[in-house]
Amino acid sequence: MKRNTLLLSLGPLLRKKEWFVYYLLVVMTLIFSALLHDSGFFSSANFINIMRQTAPVMVMALGLSFALSVRHIDVSIGAVVALSAVVCGLLLREVHMIFAILGALSVGLFAGVINGLLIEYLKTSSLLVTLGTMSIMIGIARSISGLESIPITNEHFIMLFGSELFMGIPTSLYWVAILALVAWLIVHCLTLGRHLLAVGKSPENALQLTISPVKVRMLALVMCSLFAAFAGLLYAARMQSARYALGEFDLLNVFIAVAIGSTQLVGNQMRVIGVICGALLIGLLNNGLILLGFTINTQLIVKGLVLVMVITLVHKELNNAK
């Protein structure tokens, strides 16, 4: 009888599709902990490692969620990461750290505005426009870096954004927490958040509510690029260098993180904690599979299988909900 009551009380929790990412995170942690009980997986040092490695992907995924919430796809975020890191690295040699940080964030701001103008005022596809701006920014990053890594030796910068520990936690994670809080506040407490979701749900209805869908979508693209530029700062400090290829390989992981963390990829929703957990799951998988001795090919297969499994489940739930 007691058991039945427990199952009945668990039922509504398990039924929530948006909780799936948390179940998966717990299940994966338990599986890896069991399989890797003698190899240091279940240690605070390793968990800090995972969080540290995933921090820039978390920030990029949060930014991408803004763009996706208004049904825009921004594939230029990897290039924004590279260009902002390179700009920061070059400026750190010449000017005070504050100006270098502002310079890097300006890259994000500028990229977001350009993407927004081209998409909204020329009425072109966000995917195609951001493919173009991605190419331009990669070219600029390669050109100004001379295809070399730019060493970063500014200790204050490394301490502020990098992997230095503050009260036992890497500083980069404090930034993730701050940015997640900012994103959460925007979505849940500010009018902008409601506008984002309204425009994502139906631009026509939004117009009736006297919201300008164009402005809202542009703001979403600017937020997306700004978050990517911030990820560039985190990468530059973590790697203690800026390289033209930073972020280039992250696009797949970022999209997977958002897909796993959200119950629907585009429009009408933005789940901050879910996206963070989605990114964390990717980091956990990468780490656990390496420790298990898996080859890179098998790692890719596992990541793909997890994504397919999650998408299948979510789609099923959505179909059921209809």
Name the residues that contact other proteins, by CB under 8 A: 7, 10-11, 14-15, 23-24, 27-28, 31, 35, 38-41, 43, 45-46, 49, 52-53, 142, 146-151, 163, 235, 238-241, 243, 245-246, 248-250, 286-287, 290-298, 301-302, 305, 309, 313
**Residue closer to other proteins, measured from CB, 92 or 129:** 92
**Closer to other proteins by Cβ: residue 68 or 246:** 246
- Do 154 and 92 form a contact (C-beta atoms < 8 A)? yes
Closest to other proteins by CB, 26 or 190: 26
Taking the complex as a whole, how short is the minimal distance between the CB of residue 46 and other proteins, in angstroms? 4
Measure Cα distances from 202 to 58, 82, 178, 263 in Å: 27, 34, 30, 18
Contact assessment for residue 81 and residue 278, using Cβ atoms and an 8 Å cutoff: no
Strands (E), 180-315: 241-242
Q: At what angle do helices 126-145 and 97-121 cross, to 10 degrees?
A: 150
Q: Closest approach of Cβ 311 to other proteins, in Å?
A: 13
Which of 91/245 has CB closer to other proteins? 245
Please report how close the Cβ of residue 273 comes to other proteins at its closest, in angstroms. Answer: 20
Q: Which is nearer to other proteins, 38 or 204 (CB)?
A: 38
**For the chain, how many helices (H) and strands (E)?**
14, 4
Q: Tokens at residue 201, please?
A: 């749900």
Q: How far is the CB of 279 from other proteins (least distance, A)?
A: 13
What distance lies between CA 116 and its chain's CA centroid?
A: 19
Buried b (16+ CB within 10 A) or exposed e, 255-267: bbbbbbbbbbbeb
Q: Rounded to an integer, what distance in angstroms lies between the CA atom of residue 258 and that of residue 175? A: 19
Task: Please identify, using beta-carbon distances, which residue of 109 and 131 lies nearer to other proteins.
Answer: 131
Spatial distance between the Cα atoms of 148 and 135, rounded to a whole number of angstroms: 18
Please state the closest distance from residue 25 (CB atom) to other proteins, in A: 11
Least distance to other proteins, CB of residue 319, Å: 14
**Which residue, 188 or 315, is less far from other proteins as judged by CB?**
315
Residues 302 and 185: their CA atoms lie apart, in Å, by 34
| Shortest distance in whole angstroms from residue 293 CB to other proteins | 4
